Amino acid sequence: MANYGSNSVAFFIINGYDVTGVSTTLSDVTTASLEETTGLGDAWQEQTSTGVRSAELSAEGFYNDGTSSIDAALSGSQQTSKVVSYAYAGGALGTEMTSHAGVFAGTYSRGATRNELTKANGTYTVSGTKDEGVVLLPLASVTATGTGSAQNNDASTASGGAGTLQVTTVTGTSPTADVKIQDSADNITYADLITFTQATGRTAERKTVSGTVNQYLKATYTIGGTAPNFTAVVGFARG
């Protein structure tokens, strides 16, 4: 089992805005809801799980008013649902990638202090699932149609899952990216598992699938336009 430091955080992306470089802390908390079930005559307090869990994110960093940075991602949009993705342990194929859909920036604060850089902090309330999956397409520049390497889960699973696409930057003339996740039982014959909405600019999307997900997964992408260049990351979490 490895230990990781802050330099291992490969990305922290909010709805297509990569705020990794201006963030100084990132933490996520998952809480199981319990209800007290202590009855008359019990000598000790008892708690029973309700089966409901909740997640919360918090981050601190430097205020940046760039069109692709933290202020653009959060200012004035606290009530807008977002897709957030991050990776604590590097961003290579098969490493852990966590994503949330239904993220609301409950609080977004900016503060200035004498002799210090202005800070920007956010606390995010999650309405929905925390997807703990793996990277299928590491965050990188994509300029031509291609296929990512296969990720081997060692076995198929039967409870569906969720795929996440984050596109952080796009350049070119009339650029398009059609991104898919495919699965295979033998790493030879692949079939489409998830098809994301065609990307033409910065975007973020989470899509779910039910039923069997085969042992092998990979991301594919068809790129169109003149001199297109997409920076994107794709992940999948099995149910």
pLDDT, tens only, 203-237: 999 999 999 999 999 999 999 999 999 999 999 99
pLDDT at 71: 85
Instruction: Indicate if 80 and 104 belong to the same structural domain.
Output: yes
Partners of residue 83 on adjacent β-strands: 101
Taking the CB of residue 186, how many other CB atoms lie within 10 A of it?
Answer: 9
Residue 190: inside a domain? yes
Instruction: Indicate if 107 and 187 belong to the same structural domain.
Output: no
**Digit-coded pLDDT (tens) for 169-189:** 999 999 999 999 999 999 999
Instruction: Indicate if 186 and 231 belong to the same structural domain.
Output: yes
Residue type, 161: G
Instruction: Indicate if 157 and 229 belong to the same structural domain.
Output: yes
Residue 132, both tokens: 């703990």
Residue 78: inside a domain? yes
Average pLDDT over residues 104-117: 88
pLDDT at 141 over 90: yes
Q: Kindly provide the b/e burial profile for residues 216-225, where b requires at least 16 CB atoms within 10 angstroms of the residue's own CB.
A: bbbbbbebeb
**Count of structural domains within the chain:** 2
Query: How far, in Å, CA of 124 to CA of 110, rounded?
Result: 15
Classified as helix, coil or strand, 2 is coil
Residue 206: inside a domain? yes
| Alpha-carbon separation of residue 73 from 17, 18, 66, 165 (angstroms) | 6, 9, 10, 17
Instruction: Indicate if 97 and 19 belong to the same structural domain.
Output: yes
Structural domain ending residue among the three candidates 104, 131, 158: 131
Instruction: Indicate if 125 and 199 belong to the same structural domain.
Output: no
Residue 39: inside a domain? no
Sign of torsion, CA 188 190 196 197?
Answer: positive
Residue 174: inside a domain? yes
Instruction: Indicate if 197 and 96 belong to the same structural domain.
Output: no
Instruction: Indicate if 78 and 120 belong to the same structural domain.
Output: yes
pLDDT at 45 over 80: yes
Structural domain ending residue among the three candidates 70, 105, 131: 131
Query: How far, in Å, CA of 30 to CA of 51, rounded?
Result: 13
Residue 93: inside a domain? yes
Query: How far, in Å, CA of 50 to CA of 36, rounded?
Result: 10
pTM score, whole prediction: 0.91
Check which CATH number belongs to the domain holding 185 and give it: 2.60.120.260
Unique residue bearing structure tokens 């092998």: 216
Instruction: Indicate if 63 and 94 belong to the same structural domain.
Output: yes
Better-predicted residue by pLDDT, 105 or 153 = 153
Q: Which domain holds residue 86?
A: 6-31+53-131
pLDDT at 106 over 80: no
Instruction: Indicate if 221 and 151 belong to the same structural domain.
Output: yes
